[in-house]
Structure 1
Amino acid sequence: MTTSISNRQSVIQIVKAASSDIIGTLGGDIFSFAVGLMLLHRTHSAISFGLGSIIYPVVGLLLVMPVGNLVDRRRHKPLILVSKLTVIMALLLYSWGVARVNAPMLLAIALLVVIAGCDKVTNTTFTAAVHELVNDNHVKMLATIEQAATAGIQLVAPVLAALLYGWIGFAGIVRVVIVTEVLTWLIALSMRFHPLTDTDDGGTAKSQWAQFQVGLRYIREHFTLLSVVLMGIFLNFLLASIDVGLPYAIVQERHLGSTRLSWVLSAFSGGVLLGNLVLSVLPKFKNVHLTILRLSLVIGSLIAVVGLTFMAPLTATVLVVGLIGIALVIGLVLAFVNTPMSVYMQMTVPTRLLGRVGSTFATLMQLALPLGTVVYGMLFQHIAAGPVYLVTGLVIVGYIALNLRTAQRHYRDNPDA
């Protein structure tokens, strides 16, 4: 692989990518929060707020093979532009049909399916195109700045979404999202993708499955990637308790309102923002895998603390303040888990395989979310939030401790791994 991207060109691309993330995340998060509130208020069901958590992983799983193969065999910029344009057309069609078709809930679900499919294409393509946008010296900077920009918007998006939902309603929010999607399309159009000379497709296989197996085999043959994927499947199932449980526990169980819920959710993003700002000035971790495992122990402990917080006889104000503080720390730790892993994959996986490996990696990491959303949706409707979070946190700590011992033994026996 060769490319002649200067430092100046890399910085310009980073600014454009960050701007696109800010605008796109703002629109997407406002829309997701608004959909969740609409469904929660209409159905009074814990699972309704996590509908997106079901749709996105399921669509991602269905598309993991064709999208991974497509991204590794087609030019990246046209894929991104077509994907974003499809979202704009779907939003316009929804805005037209919502006032004419007497099935607003079904229309919203259909729209989420389309957006989930397009996001799968866009995100996988951007992952595979990193080396076409910046040189190797700026890969870490791109990852940390994008994460920080996204987290900064997520910090205010829930609060802004709650305000807009009460002011202009769900239909008005759809119109706002259309504008944000048009802006991100224009930014993508202005970005320059430098072609790479490494065009080897990793084999002569023609079938979809045979092409996909190349990326799958790469993950299976690399201990760190395989271990993190398996750990991610298990953890994401348990972390669905956050996506489903907090909205239900705060809004339905404790009756603290949507505004206080938005404060707690914003604290998660605030922690991620802070964590990425710190990461931007820190050197690379010596062993990404062991670092992720140790930090995951912290996350499990904090979730157990969330359970104790709900179980304690606290006033509404003290409860919310406590949850905000815990969410802030969890978000900070998550930044130290997610960003280094993203950089590790970009710097170690061959460019010709990034589409397939990235698509498989992201999909398998999210695979357990739909099941977790369903299971925790039922648990929170029949069991108080405190015990559910306490047990979840303890299970995470036990599972990660076992994985940490296995990983330490592996690296001790394989010092060059």
Structure 2
Amino acid sequence: MSDYLIENSSFKQIRKSIVSSLVGQLGSQSFNFALGLMLLTKTGSSLSFAASQVIGPIISLLFVPLVGPTVDRLSKKQVIAVSQIVTIGGLIGYALSLRYFAFTILPPTLILIAILAVSDQFTLTAYNAGAKGLVLDDHQTKLRGLQQSAGAIGQFIAPILGAALYSVVPFTLFVMIEVSCELVTLGIALSLNFQLNSGTGEKQTGQEDLSFSAGLTFFKKQKTLISLLVLALFLNFCVGAFTIGIASVLITSLKFSATTYGFVQSAFVFGSMLSGLVISQMKASKYPLQKVWGAMIGIALCLLVFGIVPFVFEKSVLTAGLIMVTSFILAGISNLVNVPFFSWLGEHIPEQMQGRIFGLVTTFATALTPINFAIFGCLYDVKTLPTLTMNLWIFSCCSLGVLSLYVIGRVILKIDLKHVTIVD
């Protein structure tokens, strides 16, 4: 195949992947939103809702030793197809069971969430591990940037769509709508060529050690990669303070309207969407990980603004405006860390190790979310300090923590992000 045809095919696969991401995100997030509403309505228990949010990350953590090695052993397309079929089967089974569990809806719902968590883990890991063969090397950042934008669009529209559909259609029909979305993503996955990028693919010599322990041993050798992962996880952890803290400050303490809070959340989503589009149009950088240092400074400043502005200006138009603008900037800067990091992983981790490495990375990020929410939720419930004072302390500590990691990494340890190499 000529270079022109290969490049054209690479662009086609990008378009297919974006459509798949958008349909998948809209369907799954709308369904998850409606599932949460249904649980609260049927059970009247916040504990049931909390259980539905925690079980997914726990199940994902338990399946880490199985997901990575499976993705590395088998065809990426085969893994995605099987996991999508399991998802569809689980949804259909759940829809059929609703009439029999009308008054005990929690057990089948938790079982469904567990099935979806495992299948999504397989699908996401296979897509991440197969991206290098899916598109040309020069298109890796474009693919991941556009996927980030598609995810942001889904995040913005899904709650609105989920609430609207939940109020007008029976929940069984809602489940079947999600089945339709999964069928679309399955069809697109089956049409993708994960061996387009020559020199990559899914061939194994049969001599590699594809066990989870081998992947863990390989991971332990990558000191710079581990340092980057710690940085990325801590940055995402601090950004999580925004999710809990801003809601508590704006609505509970300052008594802003839900509309104002909605605008702040929308600003974050639009920042993520726009930055993904911008990153996708940028030329591939020779040193993509260098952006991490500048991004850390930017994130630290944004976190400090979240602490200082409500404390100083309290309820005012200026407070809402500054937080909205800062939310937009924070989302954009966060993408400057996440997108180059995952692009770099896809390009430099050996093909036979990608399933296990991506499995570890994504699971760490997923497992951190409920811990993140629990910690910041408890901190904002502490009544020994006024909420605005507590908010100032929390965001100041987060900002200081990011700056400390910057100093430790760049000044003390002198981590060279220009010439990061993979240790065999």
Give TM-score scaled by structure 1 length: 0.84
Structure 2 stretches lacking a partner, 5+ long: none
Greater displacement, 282-291 / 186-195: 282-291
Greater displacement, 8-17 / 262-271: 262-271
Q: Contact 2:27–2:181 at 8 Å: present in 1 too? A: yes
Kindly tell me the number of residue pairs found equivalent between the two proteins.
409
Letter in 2 for 1:145: L
> Match for residue 98 of structure 1?
98
> Match for residue 73 of structure 2?
73
> Match for residue 404 of structure 2?
402
Q: Contact 2:129–2:354 at 8 Å: present in 1 too? A: yes
| 1:142-157 matched pairs, under 5 angstroms | 142-157=143-158
> Match for residue 264 of structure 1?
264
Greater displacement, 10-19 / 161-170: 161-170
Going from structure 1 to structure 2, the CA distance change for 1:5 and 1:242 (only over 3 Å counts) comes to farther
In the TM superposition, residue 126 of structure 1 has moved relative to its aligned partner by 0.7
> Match for residue 295 of structure 1?
295
| 1:121-132 matched pairs, under 5 angstroms | 121-132=122-133
Quick one: distance in 2 between partners of 1:321 and 1:64? Answer: 42
Quick one: distance in 2 between partners of 1:121 and 1:28? Answer: 15
Quick one: distance in 2 between partners of 1:108 and 1:256? Answer: 34
Letter in 2 for 1:20: S
SS in structure 1 at match of 2:213: helix
Letter in 1 for 2:339: T
Quick one: distance in 1 between partners of 2:418 and 2:127? Answer: 33
> Match for residue 350 of structure 1?
350
Q: Contact 2:69–2:212 at 8 Å: present in 1 too? A: yes
Q: Contact 1:238–1:392 at 8 Å: present in 2 too? A: no
Q: Please say if 1:140 is aligned against 2:141.
A: yes
Going from structure 1 to structure 2, the CA distance change for 1:184 and 1:14 (only over 3 Å counts) comes to same
In the TM superposition, residue 354 of structure 1 has moved relative to its aligned partner by 0.6
SS in structure 1 at match of 2:63: helix
Q: Please say if 1:227 is aligned against 2:227.
A: yes
In the TM superposition, residue 7 of structure 1 has moved relative to its aligned partner by 0.8
Q: Contact 1:73–1:201 at 8 Å: present in 2 too? A: no
In the TM superposition, residue 258 of structure 1 has moved relative to its aligned partner by 6.3
SS in structure 1 at match of 2:281: coil
SS in structure 1 at match of 2:372: helix
Quick one: distance in 2 between partners of 1:175 and 1:319? Answer: 43
Letter in 1 for 2:271: G
Going from structure 1 to structure 2, the CA distance change for 1:22 and 1:106 (only over 3 Å counts) comes to same
Q: Contact 2:129–2:351 at 8 Å: present in 1 too? A: yes
In the TM superposition, residue 80 of structure 1 has moved relative to its aligned partner by 0.5
| 1:16-415 matched pairs, under 5 angstroms | 16-37=16-37, 54-101=54-101, 102-168=103-169, 173-194=174-195, 196=200, 199-200=203-204, 204-205=208-209, 211-246=211-246, 261-285=261-285, 287-311=287-311, 312-314=313-315, 322-383=322-383, 386-409=388-411, 410-411=413-414
Letter in 1 for 2:396: L
Going from structure 1 to structure 2, the CA distance change for 1:336 and 1:126 (only over 3 Å counts) comes to same
Q: Contact 1:302–1:330 at 8 Å: present in 2 too? A: yes
SS in structure 2 at match of 1:129: helix
Greater displacement, 93-102 / 384-393: 384-393
Structure 1 stretches lacking a partner, 5+ long: none
In the TM superposition, residue 61 of structure 1 has moved relative to its aligned partner by 1.4
Q: Contact 1:162–1:259 at 8 Å: present in 2 too? A: no
> Deviations 1:136-174 (Å, cap 9, x if unpaired)?
232222112222222233232233334334444755543
In the TM superposition, residue 322 of structure 1 has moved relative to its aligned partner by 4.7
Going from structure 1 to structure 2, the CA distance change for 1:414 and 1:276 (only over 3 Å counts) comes to closer
Aligned Cα root-mean-square deviation (Å)? 3.4
In the TM superposition, residue 135 of structure 1 has moved relative to its aligned partner by 2.2
Quick one: distance in 2 between partners of 1:367 and 1:163? Answer: 30
Give TM-score scaled by structure 2 length: 0.83
Going from structure 1 to structure 2, the CA distance change for 1:302 and 1:358 (only over 3 Å counts) comes to same
In the TM superposition, residue 252 of structure 1 has moved relative to its aligned partner by 6.4
In the TM superposition, residue 9 of structure 1 has moved relative to its aligned partner by 1.4
In the TM superposition, residue 245 of structure 1 has moved relative to its aligned partner by 4.5
Q: Contact 1:54–1:369 at 8 Å: present in 2 too? A: no
Q: Contact 1:293–1:400 at 8 Å: present in 2 too? A: no
In the TM superposition, residue 256 of structure 1 has moved relative to its aligned partner by 6.3
Quick one: distance in 2 between partners of 1:202 and 1:394? Answer: 52
Greater displacement, 153-162 / 222-231: 153-162
Letter in 2 for 1:67: V
> Deviations 1:322-361 (Å, cap 9, x if unpaired)?
5433322221112211111111111111111110111111
In the TM superposition, residue 39 of structure 1 has moved relative to its aligned partner by 5.5
In the TM superposition, residue 261 of structure 1 has moved relative to its aligned partner by 4.9
Greater displacement, 48-57 / 111-120: 48-57
Q: Contact 1:288–1:344 at 8 Å: present in 2 too? A: yes
> Deviations 1:48-104 (Å, cap 9, x if unpaired)?
776665333322211111100000001111110111111112122222223331222
